[in-house]
Amino acid sequence: IVKSGLILQSISNDVYQNLAVEDWIHDHMNLEGKPVLFLWRNSPSVVIGRHQNPWQECNLNLMREEGIKLARRRSGGGTVYHDMGNINLTFFTTKKKYDRMENLKLVVRALNSVQPQLDVQPTKRFDLLLDGQFKISGTASKIGRTTAYHHCTLLCGTDRTFLSSLLKSPYQGIRSNATASIPALVKNLLEKDPTLTCEVLMNAIAAEYAAYHQIDNHISLINPTDETLFPGINSKAKELKTWEWIYGKTPKFSINTSFNVLYEQSHLEIKVFIDIKNGRIEICNIEAPDHWLPMEICDKLNSSFIGSKFCPIETSMLINILHRTCPEDDEVHSKWNILCEKIKGIM
């Protein structure tokens, strides 16, 4: 039997383009007798699972400030942080040949071929643990009708401090049945052994894959924007970037929180109850004390928010229009601004 298979590596570091490659291979390639390994790395990005809530999983404000991209992948599982010190591996097989443990064992063999003393073990939850303690890899997968893929991360030299600050949500009072991430203690392989760089490890895993599937140890570099190679891939990447996909696919959730504003040397509490469906505000109840902001103005704010995206930019624009349609006196105007800035802070 002539064994067949492919090892691909992306030349792009754009998370959306690389996720689009996964979609494309999953949708278009016939993997019968021809498994594929895809190696990719991304510039700093946070990637949430298919059914997760970004507000619950990461610090969106910090991400906006730092220019960190947010992507939602199509496989399940939890939230991860990617940067160039992290390798992503995707194992494509037919549905019948789907076997995550086999894939992880292959990765462990590859690691041990570079560093035989390395203590890496897969867990029942398909994580890889270093020295029995530190998570160096997390797994997620997607099963379609005939094909399936299992992808996992591998921490070589990621910025761990940044990772933990990004993956810590500051948003309070969220009630949701979205899939929750399980935080874990992580460590970089480079910290254990400085020879374990990304390049070294990618080559080792490719070699192990080639040996296991008895194919040529040859890594094909691919350009995820090449429409001739992957017809239709650019529209897949485009869809992954849309607000409707990234935020709009969040399962329904509600926020029940409050914040304080300073008024005449005392703090006033403003309560917020918001229901969000498909990323848009379905129900909005912002309760401010009547003596601070007249109730009609609060009501106007509440009703204006309904239907708009749960997003600070959209909120800014909405407030701006509201200003122009209902000019108020300066004092109300500035209170309105304060209130809106606070509200934007919880988005």
Partner 1 sequence: MARRPGSQRRRAPSVEPAPRKGREGPDRGVAGRSQAPSGEPARPAGSTASPTSAPQLPGRRADGSAGSPAPPTARQWFVPNTPSPRGRVPGQPHFRLLPSPISGVRPPSAPLLPRCCPGPAACPGRSAARSPPSRSINSSGVFSVRFFRTTAVCKDDVVTVKTPAFAESVTEGDVRWEKAVGDTVAEDEVVCEIETDKTSVQVPAPANGVIEALLVPDGGKVEGGTPLFTLRKTGAAPAKAKPAEAPAAAAPEAEPPAAAVPPPPAASIPTQMPPAPSPSQPPASKPVSAVKPTPSPPVAEPGAGKGVRSEHREKMNRMRQRIAQRLKEAQNTCAMLTTFNEIDMSNIQEMRARHRDAFLKKHNLKLGFMSAFVKASAFALQEQPVVNAVIDDATKEVVYRDYIDISVAVATPRGLVVPVIRNVEAMNYADIERIISELGEKARKNELAIEDMDGGTFTISNGGVFGSLFGTPIINPPQSAILGMHGIFDRPVAVGGKVEVRPMMYVALTYDHRLIDGREAVTFLRKIKAAVEDPRVLLLDL
- Does residue 306 interact with partner 1 by CB under 8 A? yes
- Of 41 and 151, the one with the shorter C-beta distance to partner 1 is 151
Collapsed DSSP state (helix, strand, coil) of residue 285: strand
Least distance to partner 1, CB of residue 291, Å:
23
- Of 68 and 286, the one with the shorter C-beta distance to partner 1 is 68
Q: How far apart, in Å, are the Cα atoms of 168 and each of 57, 63, 79, 188, 243?
A: 7, 11, 10, 19, 22
In the region spanning residues 199 to 258, those forming contacts with partner 1, defined by CB under 8 A, are 238, 241-244, 246-247, 251-252
Give the DSSP H/E element, type plus range, for residue 268: strand 266-277
Number of residues that bind partner 1 (CB under 8 A): 67
Q: Which of 4, 13, 34, 69 binds partner 1 (CB under 8 A)?
A: 69
Query: Long-range contacts for 309-312 (Cβ within 8 Å, ≥24 apart)?
Result: 309/243, 309/247, 309/279, 309/280, 309/281, 310/55, 310/247, 310/274, 310/276, 310/279, 310/280, 310/281, 310/347, 311/243, 311/247, 311/279, 311/347, 312/344, 312/345, 312/347
Give the DSSP H/E element, type plus range, for residue 327: none
- What span, in angstroms and rounded, lies between the C-alpha atoms of 87 and 110? 14
> What is the largest distance, in Å, between two alpha-carbon atoms of the chain?
83
Q: Where does this chain touch partner 1 (CB under 8 A) — which range of 45-53, 103-111, 196-204, 219-227?
A: 45-53
- Does residue 312 interact with partner 1 by CB under 8 A? yes
Residue 63 · residue 166 · CB < 8 Å: yes
Least distance to partner 1, CB of residue 19, Å:
13
- Of 101 and 185, the one with the shorter C-beta distance to partner 1 is 101
Residue 308 · residue 317 · CB < 8 Å: no
- Of 48 and 206, the one with the shorter C-beta distance to partner 1 is 48
- What span, in angstroms and rounded, lies between the C-alpha atoms of 165 and 228? 40
- What span, in angstroms and rounded, lies between the C-alpha atoms of 144 and 27? 9
Give the DSSP H/E element, type plus range, for residue 125: none
- Of 115 and 241, the one with the shorter C-beta distance to partner 1 is 241
Contact code string over 166-205 relative to partner 1, x by CB under 8 A:
-----------xxx--------------------------
Q: Which of 198, 201, 304, 335 binds partner 1 (CB under 8 A)?
A: 304
Contact code string over 93-122 relative to partner 1, x by CB under 8 A:
-----xxxx---------------------
Residue 246 · residue 71 · CB < 8 Å: yes
- Of 65 and 264, the one with the shorter C-beta distance to partner 1 is 65
- Of 220 and 325, the one with the shorter C-beta distance to partner 1 is 325
- Does residue 145 interact with partner 1 by CB under 8 A? yes
- Does residue 337 interact with partner 1 by CB under 8 A? yes
Q: Where does this chain touch partner 1 (CB under 8 A) — which range of 17-25, 108-116, 216-224, 318-326?
A: 318-326
DSSP E strands, 73-193: 80-82, 86-94, 120-122, 128-130, 134-137, 139-143, 147-155, 174-176
Q: Tokens standing for 111?
A: 């690691």
Interface positions with partner 1 (CB under 8 A): 46, 49-51, 60, 63-64, 67-71, 74-78, 98-101, 125-126, 138-145, 177-179, 238, 241-244, 246-247, 251-252, 303-308, 311-314, 316-325, 327, 337, 340-341
